[in-house]
């Protein structure tokens, strides 16, 4: 017993004296725990280890990061904040307002991040002129994934407008398959609705979802958007509610479903099933939204650390922003790099298209945060929109009532 | 204390009645086993069969790969470790938490029924209402308390949290069990000069096996399966199993390997199941009577 | 705790005597203190929080808003749906679990040879984490792949069972799965109660010629009053805290049709980053629990004193 105590004291003393080398570690709270994503993150871990920085992994999956954000609150309250936390959109802004985040300006200035990261992303990565987080990727959400054989049977031409979309869906229905594979979960309903709203005009999307203009939220065009949503509902099978998004993808892969409206992470499901873009499936922008992109971007937000741990934190940010990592990670993840100067060589057709679309949308000012994924408005507003969209999709509200309700709940949540 | 050979006090039953009883019990067993069947068959088939919608059928191709994956190679964090490394963390948390809360609960129940004092009813009522605090509201203040105690991110901190929030139930179970226990025995022991602890260990404890089992089952299950506290108060070195299982199952945008999820869920539940089966052996009343005639 | 030495003791052994007298209270004290802080302290904190406009963290507030959070809560459609669902779910769940649990316990108490096999089968659902068993139930209840599809494949083409997809019926599927999970544990509690009953009383009654029905309804079940209290508290606790199950099975859907207060509370507190409203929903939940538990407890404890 006594020897044990002695050993412990010795160990503690040792830990104290070598604090500087021990501190060369980063604790990372994240929710990337599935095969591909985690493997991609492992690349980052190895890279940091080669530079002498230890990676302490703190994965908490669930609810698209909700569980991790809950854990983060407990950790910050307990005075035990991690070095770095995976975070999305307005969550970053909210944490920045608490005055607990770090400052990456030193590295950002040296590496010229301002010039290569799209302005729409910088709106989240920077707070009060300071870089506080390092963006890893950009997902875009206004994609449609179509089974090639089903499309050929329905005329063969990928739809580019709303009317063409309806025509293809009708043809698929006549061919006896479920035209639209969809999972009835609030965030999936909202993802489809993002595309619908964007298809009514980039200006309308911006007015309604970015500026939260009550006139746009409750106006005629929004009624039209809900009418289109109801129309899309009519192409979904009756068993849609509660279905996971990847089971909807499986329907399209199997040919039981014609198409799915989902962000670019769906591509991973197709690739894993051995399907080839262009041959087995087709990726198009939501009809009527070519040229505009709604995005969500994963970032690693940095928390305030002591001077001894600062170097490791900056090293991590620098490694995340390295073009080689951005390319390697996003090839696996299905998204596109968060900086626009990365070579598209390693990407497949859909990835190349995604990168070109992103650069184009960013240049023309048509790159918008996705409402469904927390990049257009803070959490309270986002969830209020979910409530209305999911009620409308489930037929509890007619289009006119839904638009009126949308304006009302957003106003209430905004205060 | 009389562990007197008890007679058969089961209701006197005829052959038909017994057949009905067995039928009912077996039907109930089928209801309870149904979801387990789904989990088991799907944990033994390749993912492709599940994706084709063959969820209720037996596997076309039997495989143990999902089990291997869940145990040792599935992605939990950035490293493909499977659930294996997290079992020890959970044991280190569960065993002390269950022992502490059960022991305290037994003592509390004993005091509240056999050493009554003024206001004991209110004390019991207050402790009982503690069962109902929604854990979600406790997360943030508890984090502050643990931070203040210097226990953030430690297994000791998790043990403390689970022991405290288990007290309401353990006290309730023992109090209600001892309430039906003849007070005369305790009185006469007191007259004989036996002290507080002696009465407890010699008279009440030997007869408490069924309620100890119920309490241990309840506490073990709750602590073992807790996710909210585990995710909030643990650290890189102290992640309990449920957080690992959750990471395995709840990945948001990755491919969902349902077969591995089910295998992982059964693996994760094995310790609890073993507790049920092993402790259940001590659940039996009137062993001697049972041996005489059924 | 009062430190008045007992007057009957001799002065020399005063502190020993005091210790003797107060030992039971001292044993109880640590538990009671921990609960005072970690339950009642936190409840007071939550009450305070419910009057602020806190958002991300309890420190993230700038003013007191009076009862505004409570008003916002009750104006929120999700909360109203949650209350309605709880009113359906909680009584149904508690009654079914009690009936099934007590029934199985009584049947299992008839010197059943395979008790050792059956008991763990009834109990095991408790052991499994609902984040996964919820998926199994979801599949089983899904008309496309589960029960309906299987029965139809057996040739009964008209068979229909699609409650989980129906806004009005989905909450009942939650009841089915919840009863599945916890009725086995209720059975174990009643079984412990049955086996804690003094055999002498039963023997005496049997000698008096009591019928089986009479034996149970007049003697055994009344003797199990405390076990009923345990079961009631456990079930009420589970009913009001049910969360994982609904998340895994329906995610609160279709739409918001299976929202219940625990989900709404988590949703406000953590997902919507409106800690103030979340706190107010927790206070309302506690008030509802108190409204049910306190009268029951009062009558129960008074009964106990009279006996």
Inside any domain, residue C270: yes
Do the Cβ atoms of B53 and C145 come within 8 Å? yes
Give the pLDDT of residue B4.
36
Using CA atoms, how far apart are residues C239 and C232, in angstroms rounded to an integer? 10
Residue B293 — pLDDT band, cuts 50, 70, 90? very low
Neighboring chain C residues of A95 at a CB cutoff of 8 Å: 56
Contact C175, C93 (CB under 8 A): yes
The total of other beta-carbon atoms located within 10 Å of residue A360's CB is 15
Give tens-digit pLDDT for C164-181.
888 888 999 999 999 999
Specify the range with the lowest mean pLDDT, choosing from A249-253, C134-138, C180-184. Answer: C134-138
Residue C165 contacts A where some CB pair is shorter than 8 Å: yes
Residue C206 — pLDDT band, cuts 50, 70, 90? confident
Contact A299, A98 (CB under 8 A): no
**Residue B28 confidence (pLDDT) above 50:** yes
> Which residue(s) pair with A294 in the sheet?
A368
Nearest-CB residue to C271 (from A76, A238, A379):
A379
Nearest-CB residue to C272 (from A379, A390, A393):
A379
Neighboring chain A residues of B248 at a CB cutoff of 8 Å: 33
Peptide bond into C254 cis (omega under 30): yes
Neighboring chain A residues of C57 at a CB cutoff of 8 Å: 73, 76-77, 98
Give the pLDDT of residue C22.
84
Do the Cβ atoms of C143 and A380 come within 8 Å? no
Q: Nearest chain A Cα to B257, which residue?
A: A34
Do the Cβ atoms of A80 and B77 come within 8 Å? no
Using CA atoms, how far apart are residues A385 and A155, in angstroms rounded to an integer? 35
| pTM greater than 0.90 | no
CA distance B237 to chain C (A): 22
Neighboring chain C residues of A237 at a CB cutoff of 8 Å: 144
Contact A133, A301 (CB under 8 A): yes
Using CA atoms, how far apart are residues C228 and B176, in angstroms rounded to an integer? 9
Give the pLDDT of residue A405.
93
Nearest-CB residue to C27 (from B24, B107, B121):
B107
Among C214, C24, C155, C180, smallest CA distance to C93 is for C180
Residue C237 — pLDDT band, cuts 50, 70, 90? confident
Q: Tokens representing A78?
A: 């307990």
Using CA atoms, how far apart are residues B92 and B155, in angstroms rounded to an integer? 7
CA distance A346 to chain B (A): 20
Helices (H), B130-257: 135-149, 155-179, 183-191, 196-199, 209-225, 228-233, 241-249
Looking at residue A261, the DSSP 8-state letter turns out to be: E
Kind and range of the H or E element at B75?
A: none
Neighboring chain B residues of A27 at a CB cutoff of 8 Å: 236
φ, ψ (nearest 5 deg) of residue C146: -95, -135
CA distances, A53 to each of A11, A313, A318, A382 (Å)? 21, 9, 12, 37
CA distances, C32 to each of B113, B117, B124, C28 (Å)? 16, 15, 9, 6
Inside any domain, residue C66: no
Kind and range of the H or E element at A260?
A: strand A257-261
Give the pLDDT of residue A265.
87
Do the Cβ atoms of A238 and C162 come within 8 Å? yes
Give the pLDDT of residue B13.
64
Using CA atoms, how far apart are residues C124 and C119, in angstroms rounded to an integer? 9
Using CA atoms, how far apart are residues B96 and B105, in angstroms rounded to an integer? 14
- Can you give the residue range of the structural domain that contains C298? 76-306
Do the Cβ atoms of A97 and C143 come within 8 Å? no
Nearest-CB residue to A98 (from C60, C138, C253):
C60
CA distance A42 to chain B (A): 5
Q: How many inter-chain contacts (B to C, CB under 8 Å) are there? A: 279
What mean pLDDT is reported for chain C?
A: 84
Pairing label, strands A25-30, A84-88: parallel
Classify burial at A70, counting beta carbons within 10 Å of its beta carbon; exposed 0-12, middle 13-18, buried 19 or more: buried
Nearest-CB residue to B52 (from A56, A254, A265):
A254
Inside any domain, residue C167: yes
- The number of domains in chain C is 1
Q: Nearest chain A Cα to B77, which residue?
A: A33
Inside any domain, residue C257: yes
Helices (H), chain C: 14-35, 42-49, 68-75, 77-108, 115-123, 130-141, 147-153, 170-195, 199-207, 212-214, 221-223, 225-241, 244-249, 261-266, 275-306
Among A389, A381, A390, A372, smallest CA distance to A409 is for A381
Give tens-digit pLDDT for A282-332.
999 999 999 999 999 999 999 998 888 889 999 999 999 999 999 988 888
Neighboring chain B residues of A56 at a CB cutoff of 8 Å: 236
CA distance A175 to chain B (A): 20
Using CA atoms, how far apart are residues A390 and A406, in angstroms rounded to an integer? 11
- Domain A23-139+296-354, second-level architecture: 3-Layer(aba) Sandwich (3.40)
Inside any domain, residue C124: yes
Residue C4 — pLDDT band, cuts 50, 70, 90? very low
Give the pLDDT of residue C221.
87
- Domain A143-295+374-414, second-level architecture: 3-Layer(aba) Sandwich (3.40)
Mutation target to probe the C interface, by most C beta carbons within 10 A, among A239, A396, A409 is: A239
Inside any domain, residue C34: no
For this complex, say whether ipTM is above 0.90: no
Inside any domain, residue C259: yes
Contact A303, A101 (CB under 8 A): yes
Neighboring chain B residues of A39 at a CB cutoff of 8 Å: 75, 80
CA distance C71 to chain A (A): 12
Spell out, as residue ranges, where chain A has pLDDT lower than 70.
1-23, 35
> Which residue(s) pair with B268 in the sheet?
none
Q: Tokens representing C40?
A: 């009642």
Q: 3-state DSSP call for residue B191? A: helix
Kind and range of the H or E element at A140?
A: strand A137-140
Kind and range of the H or E element at A126?
A: strand A126-127
Give tens-digit pLDDT for B144-198.
999 999 988 889 999 999 999 999 999 988 998 888 777 888 888 888 888 888 9
Do the Cβ atoms of B32 and C139 come within 8 Å? no
| Order of strands, sheet of A257-261, starting from the edge strand that comes earlier in the sequence | A178-180, A257-261, A143-147, A281-285
Give the pLDDT of residue C102.
94
Inside any domain, residue C69: no
Residue A95 contacts C where some CB pair is shorter than 8 Å: yes
Give the pLDDT of residue C230.
83
Mutation target to probe the A interface, by most A beta carbons within 10 A, among B254, B260, B264 is: B254
Among A223, A227, A254, A228, smallest CA distance to A404 is for A223
Contact B74, B82 (CB under 8 A): yes
- Kindly list the domain boundaries of chain A, sorted by start residue: 23-139+296-354, 143-295+374-414
Give the pLDDT of residue A406.
95
Give the pLDDT of residue C147.
84
Using CA atoms, how far apart are residues B264 and B257, in angstroms rounded to an integer? 11
Among C73, C89, C70, C46, smallest CA distance to C259 is for C89
Do the Cβ atoms of B152 and A45 come within 8 Å? no
What is the CATH number for C158?
1.10.3720.10
Using CA atoms, how far apart are residues C264 and A229, in angstroms rounded to an integer? 26
Stretch C84-108: mean pLDDT, rounded?
Answer: 94
**Residue B272 confidence (pLDDT) above 80:** yes
**Residue C2 confidence (pLDDT) above 50:** no
Among B206, A189, B24, B235, smallest CA distance to C122 is for B24
Neighboring chain B residues of A63 at a CB cutoff of 8 Å: 250, 252
Stretch C117-123: mean pLDDT, rounded?
Answer: 89
> How many Å from the N-terminal Cα to the C-terminal Cα in chain C?
29
Q: Nearest chain C Cα to B121, which residue?
A: C301
Residue C119 contacts A where some CB pair is shorter than 8 Å: no
Helix axes C115-123, B15-43, angle to 10 degrees: 50
Fold agreement between A23-139+296-354 and A143-295+374-414: yes
Residue C5 contacts A where some CB pair is shorter than 8 Å: no
Residue A273 contacts C where some CB pair is shorter than 8 Å: no
Using CA atoms, how far apart are residues A384 and C48, in angstroms rounded to an integer? 25
CA distance A262 to chain B (A): 11
Name all domains of chain B by residue range, CATH numbers in brackets: 15-63 (no CATH), 86-292 (1.10.3720.10)
Do the Cβ atoms of A242 and C270 come within 8 Å? no
Residue B253 — pLDDT band, cuts 50, 70, 90? low
Half-sphere exposure of B115 (CA within 13 A, CB side): 20
Q: Tokens representing C289?
A: 């629990």
Residue C294 — pLDDT band, cuts 50, 70, 90? confident
Q: Nearest chain C Cα to A95, which residue?
A: C56
Give me the residue label for tokens 């002390």: B96
Exposure string over B201-224, b if 16+ CB within 10 A, otherwise e: eebbeeebbbbbbbbbbbbbbbbb
């Amino acid at each position: 017993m006594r020897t044990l105590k002695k050993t412990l004291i010795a160990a503690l003393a040792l830990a104290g004296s070598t604090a500087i080398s021990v501190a060369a570690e980063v604790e990372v709270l994240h929710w990337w725990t599935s095969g591909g994503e985690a493997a991609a993150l492992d690349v980052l871990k190895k890279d940091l280890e080669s530079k002498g920085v230890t990676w302490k992994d703190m994965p908490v999956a669930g609810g698209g990061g909700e569980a991790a954000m809950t854990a983060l609150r407990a950790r910050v309250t307990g005075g035990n904040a991690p070095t770095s936390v995976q975070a999305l959109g307005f969550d970053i802004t909210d944490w920045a307002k608490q005055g607990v985040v770090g400052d990456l300006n030193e590295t950002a200035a040296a590496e010229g991040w301002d010039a290569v990261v799209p302005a729409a992303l910088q709106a989240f990565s920077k707070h009060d002129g300071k870089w506080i987080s390092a963006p890893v990727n950009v997902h875009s959400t206004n994609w449609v994934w179509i089974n090639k054989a089903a499309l050929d049977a329905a005329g063969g031409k990928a739809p580019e407008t709303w009317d063409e979309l309806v025509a293809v869906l009708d043809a698929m229905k006549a061919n006896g398959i479920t035209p639209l594979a969809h999972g009835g979960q609030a965030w999936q309903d909202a993802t489809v609705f993002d595309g619908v709203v964007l298809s009514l005009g980039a200006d309308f999307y911006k007015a309604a979802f970015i500026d939260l203009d009550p006139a746009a939220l409750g106006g005629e065009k929004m009624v039209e958007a809900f009418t289109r949503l109801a129309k899309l509902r009519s192409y979904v099978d009756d068993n849609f509610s509660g279905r996971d998004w990847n089971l909807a993808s499986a329907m399209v892969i199997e040919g039981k479903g014609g198409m799915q409206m989902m962000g670019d992470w769906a591509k991973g499901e197709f690739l894993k099933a051995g399907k080839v873009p262009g041959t087995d499936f087709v990726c198009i922008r939501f009809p009527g939204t070519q040229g505009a992109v709604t995005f969500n971007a994963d970032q690693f937000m940095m928390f305030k650390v002591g001077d001894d741990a600062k170097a490791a934190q900056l090293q991590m940010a620098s490694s995340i922003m390295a073009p080689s990592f951005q390319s390697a990670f996003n090839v696996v993840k299905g998204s596109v790099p968060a900086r626009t100067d990365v070579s598209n060589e390693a990407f497949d057709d859909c990835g190349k298209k995604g990168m070109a679309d992103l650069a184009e949308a960013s240049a023309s000012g048509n790159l918008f945060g996705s409402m469904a994924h927390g990049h257009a408005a803070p959490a309270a507003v986002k969830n209020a929109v979910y409530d209305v969209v999911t009620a409308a999709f489930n037929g509890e509200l007619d289009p006119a009532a839904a638009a009126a309700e949308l304006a009302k709940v957003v106003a209430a949540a905004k205060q | 204390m009389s562990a007197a050979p008890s007679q058969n006090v089961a209701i006197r039953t005829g052959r038909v009645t017994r057949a009905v009883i067995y039928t009912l019990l077996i039907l109930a067993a089928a209801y309870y086993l149904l979801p387990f069947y789904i989990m088991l068959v799907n944990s033994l088939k390749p993912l492709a069969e599940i994706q084709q919608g063959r969820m209720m059928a037996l596997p076309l191709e039997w495989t143990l790969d999902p089990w291997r994956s869940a145990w040792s190679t599935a992605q939990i964090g950035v490293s493909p470790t499977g659930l294996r490394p997290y079992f020890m963390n959970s044991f280190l948390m569960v065993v002390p938490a269950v022992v502490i809360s059960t022991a305290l609960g037994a003592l509390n129940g004993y005091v509240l029924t056999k050493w009554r004092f003024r206001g004991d009813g209110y004390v019991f009522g207050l402790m009982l209402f503690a069962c109902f605090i929604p854990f979600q509201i406790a997360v943030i203040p508890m984090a502050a308390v643990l931070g203040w105690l210097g226990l953030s991110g430690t297994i000791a901190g998790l043990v403390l949290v689970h022991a405290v929030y288990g007290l309401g139930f353990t006290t309730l179970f023992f109090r209600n069990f001892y309430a039906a226990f003849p007070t005369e025995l305790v009185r006469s022991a007191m007259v004989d000069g036996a002290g507080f602890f002696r009465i407890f260990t010699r008279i009440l404890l030997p007869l408490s096996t069924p309620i100890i089992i119920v309490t241990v089952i309840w506490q073990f299950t709750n602590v073992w399966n807790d996710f909210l506290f585990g995710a909030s108060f643990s650290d890189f070195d102290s992640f309990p199993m449920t957080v690992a299982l959750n990471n395995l199952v709840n990945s948001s945008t990755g491919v969902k390997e349902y077969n591995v999820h089910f295998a992982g869920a059964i693996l994760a539940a094995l310790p609890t199941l073993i507790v049920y089966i092993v402790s259940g052996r001590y659940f039996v009343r009137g062993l001697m009577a049972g041996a005489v005639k059924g | 705790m009062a430190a008045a030495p007992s007057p009957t003791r001799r002065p020399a052994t005063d502190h020993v005597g005091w210790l003797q007298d107060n030992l039971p209270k001292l044993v109880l004290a640590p538990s009671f203190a921990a609960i005072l802080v970690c339950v009642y302290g936190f409840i007071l904190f939550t009450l305070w929080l419910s009057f602020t406009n806190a958002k991300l963290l309890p420190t993230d507030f700038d003013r007191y808003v009076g009862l505004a959070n409570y008003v916002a809560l009750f104006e929120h459609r999700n909360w109203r749906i949650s209350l309605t669902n709880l009113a359906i779910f909680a009584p149904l769940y508690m009654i079914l679990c009690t009936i099934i649990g007590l029934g199985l316990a009584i049947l299992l108490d008839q010197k059943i040879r395979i008790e050792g096999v059956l008991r763990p089968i009834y109990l095991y659902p408790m052991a499994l984490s609902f984040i996964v068993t919820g998926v199994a139930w979801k599949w089983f209840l899904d008309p496309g792949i589960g029960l309906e599809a299987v029965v139809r494949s057996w040739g009964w083409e008209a068979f229909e069972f699609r409650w989980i997809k129906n806004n009005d019926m989905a909450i009942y599927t939650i009841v089915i799965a919840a009863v599945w999970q916890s009725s086995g544990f209720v059975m174990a509690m009643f079984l412990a109660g049955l086996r804690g009953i003094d055999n002498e009383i039963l023997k005496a009654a049997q000698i008096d010629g009591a019928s089986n029905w009479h034996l149970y309804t007049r003697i055994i079940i009344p003797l199990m009053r405390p076990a009923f209290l345990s079961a009631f508290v456990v079930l009420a606790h589970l009913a009001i805290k049910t969360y994982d199950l609904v998340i895994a099975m329906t995610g609160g859907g279709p739409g918001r049709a299976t929202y219940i207060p625990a989900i709404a509370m988590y949703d406000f507190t953590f997902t919507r980053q409106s800690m103030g409203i979340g706190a107010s929903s927790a206070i309302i939940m506690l008030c509802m629990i108190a409204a049910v538990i306190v009268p029951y407890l009062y009558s129960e404890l008074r009964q106990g004193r009279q006996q």
